[in-house]
A and B are shown apart, each in its own frame.
Chain A
Amino acid sequence: MNNRSSYHRQLEEVSPLRQRVMGIVFLLFALAIFVFFISGQDLAAKRASFGLTPGGAKPELPPLIVAVQPALYLFAVLCAVAGGVQIARGFKRWTNWILGAVVGFFILAFLTWAAAGKSLNMAGLLSTTLVKAVPLTLGAMSGILCERAGVFNIAIEGMMLSAAMVGCLVGSLAKNVQIGIPNAGLWIGLLAAIGTGALLAVLHGVLSIKYKINQIISGTIINILSTGFTSYISAKFMQPYPELNNPGIFPQWSFPGLSAIPFFGPILFQNTLFVYAMFVFLIVLQVALFKTRWGLRLRSVGEHPKAADTLGINVIRTRYMAVILSGMMAGFAGGYFSLGSVGRFDEVMTAGRGFIALAAMIFGNWMPLGAFGAGLLFGFADALATRLTILQIRIPSEFMLMAPYIATMIVLAGVVGRGQPPAAGGVPYEKE
């Protein structure tokens, strides 16, 4: 029999145009380091001090002192070399990794330059990054659960917001409940938050699976509803009665022993429940999606629902399950805002994080670990934005905050290769 795959030979493996463009991009990074950070600046004697212990943590490490000028030259040369090699023969399939490294060098150069003659708490920055990444990663995982089963979910924002509000309200009401565990009220609040997410997910499911309405519109309905509903309750009850808006906050919990590891210890092992839960969910979801029967079936429903149906997999039920789990995950993320972060509910407190989570999901190519990476990147931009003000760098923090959105648009444009979204995403399943 013919093997037609050999006939389908690729015209070019990596288009030479893209290879050259990438090379030029790398060189531009090198040039940017030189132009913006090195030339015309008085750096010869300057040193940058990077703190390696987050504020107040023990044991304290001596800060890392870097001579600014040599470091900057090093980063510029590394970028330039990468660019040269890329133009000359190309990194082929490693190109995107090298791109990541070059961007990394640029960010390090930027930090070195920003901290020249001053001190920047590196550990604090990373610690903030991790914390900021939590709602984004949780939200992105909510999106992954939904979209891997073929249902778009742009309602992560609304689900998180409603969950934050209900969690806060219930947590406040249950504040004095004593059931033998510490912070019982908070736990009840968190359960309520998860339940709220699930409830909204049921609505999303009914609208988009049963009534087959456009999933974007269904998501929009939930977003509008959530904004209205939470602001309404907040204005009518939570503002006039402050005791309804005071659930307390989940305490930080250090891993005994592990938190004493220098540098990494305080960053990773002195956190609230939400950070640890994020790591657990991350690993569980990554393994479950790709190694278990549950995950195989869920993905098959998102890729080719008809095929799944002919093999006896209940497409509708699987999609409902995925959407509801997605809602629960978003609800948990919502709980983070009111119960894990500030201990109260403010109107529209999610402030678009649900949409950045969506972006992180796309950026991470619908993979939990990828989404976590994207979450860290976006969290870093967020954390850096506030530091810049402190360091009195004359770059408006607003531009820093735009970075995730712009990065997502670049990824969607396919500049760094195409992602592989679930094939049946957005299409309601019809049994004919």
Chain B
Amino acid sequence: MNAQENPKQDAGKVLLEEIQKPIQHPKAGSRVLQVIAIPFLAVVTGLLLGGVFIILTSEEVYAAFRQSFGSGLLAAWRAAWQSYVALFTGAIGDPARIVAALQSGDGLEIRRAFNPILESLVNTTPYIFGGLAVALGFRAGVFNIGVEGQIFIGAATCAFVGYSVSGLPAILHIPLALLAGALGGALWGFIPGWLKAKTGGHEVINTIMMNYIAFRLSDWLLRGPMKAPGQHNPVSPKILETAMLPRFFESPIRFHLGFFIALAVAYLVYWFMFKTTWGFDLRMVGANPHAGRYAGSNVTRNIVLAMTLSGALAGLAGANEVMGVNHNLAMAFSSGYGFDSIALALLGNNHPLGVVLASLLFGTLRNGATRMQVAAGIPIDIIAILQAMILMFIAAPAIIRTIYRLRFKVQVEGAVTIRGWGGKS
């Protein structure tokens, strides 16, 4: 009678139950393996297919196949191998070079050798914020597809505070600028949140619309009010030094405080969502708004709160980029972080720890792809293809299970059921 109906279950709990059943392969560590199996295999499969794509679009491979089948295979292998080696060294660094640099003791050389891995962390930072934003939304039952726009607005408000407020010491200016970024993003999340709560207008459409409004708005800001005097390009003035996030090493290493702020925020989000009554409230309303209302939660307030917090996290991503990396606001600087964040949240099972790990992966890939473009002539856009495929395998774990003939079942929790674009449901 018990297993009569078996609706969506928490992945972790399913695993626990699986483990309590008579285990077929009682290997130690299989528990961990099962938790990470799907994400791991999704990433591996994504990379494999990416390799196939690289081979298929390589002219050398076709040329080699025209000579002979063997050399064609060799060329294919080489094309994929070289690309991924470039990706790896671009992302992590060249081990040989690191060893050599350490032996030489030359400071600049050591910095250069370690730059790739630290640069990967720089790339990771906005992903952590963006992923947390989407994950928090999913847990609270809202689908924030507007991270992109929120990043933009957060960056704009942060940049404004960064260059216009002067005379503050860094210890005040940095938090103020971060706060401004968070508030900007929060506003951009609040509007669709409020619209959903009050009118039932669906947040997916509304956040998409808000994205484009944000783009147009920043177009206008950068051509008009926020344009740096004397600049020909549409960029804002440079933020003051007191608003820049401190960097830990000398140039060329851009690694800055933002990464640790991101980790701290991730912990904070974890604590908030899983340890406090407010977080429970949000998750309850997210999992079942009707029951939330019945249990005395203020559903309206929770939806608005969730979208606002989600927007604030996204805004921090924008602020982080302005204060830590770019030091000004330029057009289209955030290209794609918003949509990638959805992949990150799902890859990390909407859990802050998972989001951090997924962000490390994506940040590394993104950084490595830059190097791959230079070294192997593979356009950086390969990264979007990889991300799309990883997202696909994460969202449809059944594909992975079929490919690898896995027997256990893990469900990704937190994907909100979308029903109807408008109207209260």
A352 and B211 CA atoms in complex are apart in Å by 10
Taken residue by residue from 18 to 53, chain B's Cβ proximity to chain A (1 for < 8 Å, 0 otherwise) reads as 000000000000000000000000000000000000
A231 touches B219 (CB 8 A): no
Given contacts A223-B339, A236-B57, A355-B212, A412 and B421 within 8 Å (CB-CB)? yes
Taken residue by residue from 189 to 230, chain A's Cβ proximity to chain B (1 for < 8 Å, 0 otherwise) reads as 000000000000000000100010111111011111101110
Give the total of A residues in contact with B, Cβ under 8 Å: 50
B202 touches A217 (CB 8 A): no
Taking CB as reference atom, which chain B residue is nearest A236? B379
A313 and B206 CA atoms in complex are apart in Å by 34
> Among residues 96 to 151 in chain B, which have CB atoms less than 8 Å away from a CB atom of chain A?
143, 145
B200 interface hit (Cβ, 8 Å): yes
Taking the nearest CB of chain B, how far is it from the CB of A149, in angstroms?
15
- Please report whether the interface of chain B is mostly helix, strand, loop or mixed according to DSSP: helix
B381 touches A421 (CB 8 A): no
A421 touches B395 (CB 8 A): no
A36 interface hit (Cβ, 8 Å): no
Question: Given the complex, which residues of B lie within 8 Å of A64, measured CB to CB?
Answer: none
A233 and B338 CA atoms in complex are apart in Å by 23
A214 and B141 CA atoms in complex are apart in Å by 13
> Among residues 330 to 371 in chain A, which have CB atoms less than 8 Å away from a CB atom of chain B?
352, 355-356, 358-359, 362
B201 touches A412 (CB 8 A): yes
B321 interface hit (Cβ, 8 Å): no
- Name B209's contact: one of A396, A406, A421 (CB within 8 Å): A406
- Name A217's contact: one of B220, B346, B386 (CB within 8 Å): B346
Among B263-271, B274-282, B411-419, the stretch in contact with A: B411-419
Taking the nearest CB of chain B, how far is it from the CB of A42, in angstroms?
27
B419 touches A235 (CB 8 A): no
A237 and B342 CA atoms in complex are apart in Å by 30
A228 touches B396 (CB 8 A): no
Taken residue by residue from 366 to 385, chain A's Cβ proximity to chain B (1 for < 8 Å, 0 otherwise) reads as 00000000000000000000
Taking CB as reference atom, which chain A residue is nearest B396? A211
- Name A232's contact: one of B209, B220, B379, B417 (CB within 8 Å): B379
B220 touches A215 (CB 8 A): no
Taking the nearest CB of chain B, how far is it from the CB of A365, in angstroms?
10
Given contacts A228-B381, A228-B385, A396-B224, A218 and B395 within 8 Å (CB-CB)? yes
> Among residues 45 to 102 in chain B, which have CB atoms less than 8 Å away from a CB atom of chain A?
57
B417 touches A414 (CB 8 A): no
Question: Given the complex, which residues of A lie within 8 Å of B415, measured CB to CB?
Answer: 213-214, 217
- Name B388's contact: one of A154, A228, A235, A362 (CB within 8 Å): A228
B183 interface hit (Cβ, 8 Å): no
B217 touches A402 (CB 8 A): yes
Taken residue by residue from 281 to 310, chain A's Cβ proximity to chain B (1 for < 8 Å, 0 otherwise) reads as 000000000000000000000000000000
B253 interface hit (Cβ, 8 Å): no
A231 touches B381 (CB 8 A): yes
A139 and B57 CA atoms in complex are apart in Å by 30
- Name B342's contact: one of A215, A217, A362 (CB within 8 Å): A217
A427 interface hit (Cβ, 8 Å): yes
A414 touches B216 (CB 8 A): no
A405 and B396 CA atoms in complex are apart in Å by 32
Question: Given the complex, which residues of B lie within 8 Å of A216, measured CB to CB?
Answer: 143, 145, 204, 418
A217 and B419 CA atoms in complex are apart in Å by 13
A218 and B346 CA atoms in complex are apart in Å by 12
A427 and B416 CA atoms in complex are apart in Å by 11
- Name B391's contact: one of A217, A402, A418 (CB within 8 Å): A217
Taking the nearest CB of chain B, how far is it from the CB of A19, in angstroms?
18
- Name B199's contact: one of A221, A222, A406, A414 (CB within 8 Å): A414
A231 touches B339 (CB 8 A): no
A237 and B56 CA atoms in complex are apart in Å by 13
Taking CB as reference atom, which chain A residue is nearest B195? A413
B305 interface hit (Cβ, 8 Å): no
A402 and B392 CA atoms in complex are apart in Å by 32
- Name B213's contact: one of A232, A405, A414 (CB within 8 Å): A405
Spell out A's residues near B (CB within 8 Å): 152, 154, 207, 211, 213-218, 220-225, 227-229, 231-233, 235-237, 352, 355-356, 358-359, 362, 396, 398-399, 401-402, 405-406, 408-409, 412-414, 418-419, 421, 423, 425-427
Could you list 24 examples of A-B contacts with CB < 8 Å? Answer: A152-B418, A211-B395, A214-B418, A217-B391, A217-B415, A220-B145, A224-B336, A229-B385, A232-B382, A232-B384, A237-B57, A355-B208, A362-B422, A396-B223, A399-B216, A399-B220, A402-B217, A405-B210, A409-B201, A412-B195, A412-B202, A421-B420, A425-B421, A427-B417
Spell out B's residues near A (CB within 8 Å): 57, 143, 145, 195, 198-202, 204-206, 208-210, 212-213, 215-217, 219-220, 223-224, 336, 339-340, 342-343, 346, 377-379, 381-389, 391-392, 395-396, 398-399, 415-423
Which 9 A-B pairs give the minimum distances between C-beta atoms? A228-B384, A412-B201, A225-B388, A235-B379, A398-B220, A231-B381, A211-B396, A405-B209, A413-B199
Beyond A227-B384, A228-B388, A398-B220, 13 additional contacts (C-beta under 8 Å) are: A217-B346, A220-B339, A225-B385, A225-B388, A232-B382, A236-B377, A402-B217, A409-B210, A412-B205, A414-B423, A421-B423, A425-B419, A427-B417
